[in-house]
Amino acid sequence: MKCTNRTGKRPSKILSMALLTAVLTLTGCGQAQYALGYSVDSEVSSFRVVDLEEERGTAVPFAADLCVVNGNITSGDVDMTAASGAGLFDLNNRTTLYAKNVHEKLYPASMTKVMTALVAIKHGSNDMRLTASANVKIQESGAQLSGIKEGDQMTLDQALHLLLLNSGNDVAIMIAEGVAGSVEAFTNMMNEEAFALGATNTHFANPHGLPDDNHYTTVYDMYLIMNEAINYNSFNEIIHTDEYTTVYTDKNGASKEITVTNTNRYIQGSADAPTGITVMGGKTGTTNAAGHCLVLFSKDSSSNPYISIIMRAESGDLLYSQMTDLLEEINK
């Protein structure tokens, strides 16, 4: 499905059109007004309008610079039966190359941390000091932890590396409290950011992605969030890093060293992208409720950018084999 593109840079700049009924005025020999309704409760997180077939012009949606997709767009070469949702988005051409259940609400698991990082980058600074509270002690079974303790201190830049590479849920708590003062306040900021991006089928209940009935997103909304995050150089630098070593301090000022590796198999080198495709980075996510999830930022041999997403794959091996097949669509 072809995505329209006519004006604008980001949907957030003119999202106010979408919060109320949008009225577009088209000029010619006279004036004509068209009321274009937008509902935040829509099952589709995009504002699509077709040409009005009037001599005096065409209505332009607020999502004019985004890939827009309503139904499924499939390929016989991609077997996605072992995943609940998937999408492949051509950012330059604003084209959706593949789509399966892209507007179905699903648990994102640690893909949540893309939004956590985005909000932290927008509202914090790399050198701001964070101090871990007692809340970093997460005891939920299966929770991924970086091992920080109450009183530990590090910069936001260090914390973001641990968040996006090691996927530490304890680090997510420290970032949330350090940037916003509390997890609740930070989560509200995450939801405000999602709404501003047009991700209206998304709601976050925490900054780490551990299961909650009120914590969900869609493949399409994840594309919107990732599409915003890759505008920040610090985010791109981190997700492209394979291994990271840093030193931080404990509550007594003693130094503590930690080394983490990227959970992304393409960055690790244990999974191979198709010929001509370079994976710039991404974010993994795995819980029993969410299955195996992955969002990627990639480029083709001409450096054209793409975002690909798979949610709720049945296993890690299937996730990466399906993602490789999905990325192969770029070469066609």
Question: DSSP label at 217?
Answer: B
| Catalytic-labelled residue, pool 146, 167, 298, 308 | 167
- CA atoms lying within 13 Å on the CB side of residue 221: 31
pTM: 0.84
Helix (H, G, I), strand (E, B) or coil at 327: helix
Q: What is the pLDDT of residues 7-50, one digit of tens each?
A: 333 444 334 444 433 433 333 433 444 444 445 566 666 543 33
Rounded CA-CA distance 133/153 in Å is 10
Cα end-to-end distance, the chain, whole Å: 15
Question: Is 167 assigned a catalytic role?
Answer: yes
| Catalytic-labelled residue, pool 46, 113, 146, 308 | 113
Low-confidence ranges of the chain (pLDDT < 70): 1-62
CB 290 within 8 A of CB 104: no
Domain ranges of the chain: 1-66, 115-207+241-263
Which of these, 294, 290, 281, lies nearest to 321 by C-alpha position?
294
Rounded CA-CA distance 171/160 in Å is 8
- The values of phi and psi at residue 142, to 5°, are 85, 0
Other residues' Cβ atoms within 10 Å of the Cβ of residue 20: 9
Q: Which residues of 117-133 are buried (b: 16+ CB within 10 A; e: fewer)?
A: bbbbbeebeeeeebebb
Rounded CA-CA distance 85/100 in Å is 5
- The values of phi and psi at residue 159, to 5°, are -65, -40
The rounded radius of gyration (Å) of the Cα atoms in the chain is 20
Which of these, 124, 176, 169, lies nearest to 144 by C-alpha position?
169
Question: Is 113 assigned a catalytic role?
Answer: yes
Quick one: 115-207+241-263 is in which CATH superfamily?
DD-peptidase/beta-lactamase superfamily (3.40.710.10)
Question: Is 256 assigned a catalytic role?
Answer: no
Return the structure tokens found at 182.
Answer: 């509390």
Q: What is the pLDDT of residues 200-247, one digit of tens each?
A: 999 999 999 999 999 999 999 999 999 999 999 999 999 999 999 999
| Catalytic-labelled residue, pool 110, 146, 298, 308 | 110
Rounded CA-CA distance 214/176 in Å is 18
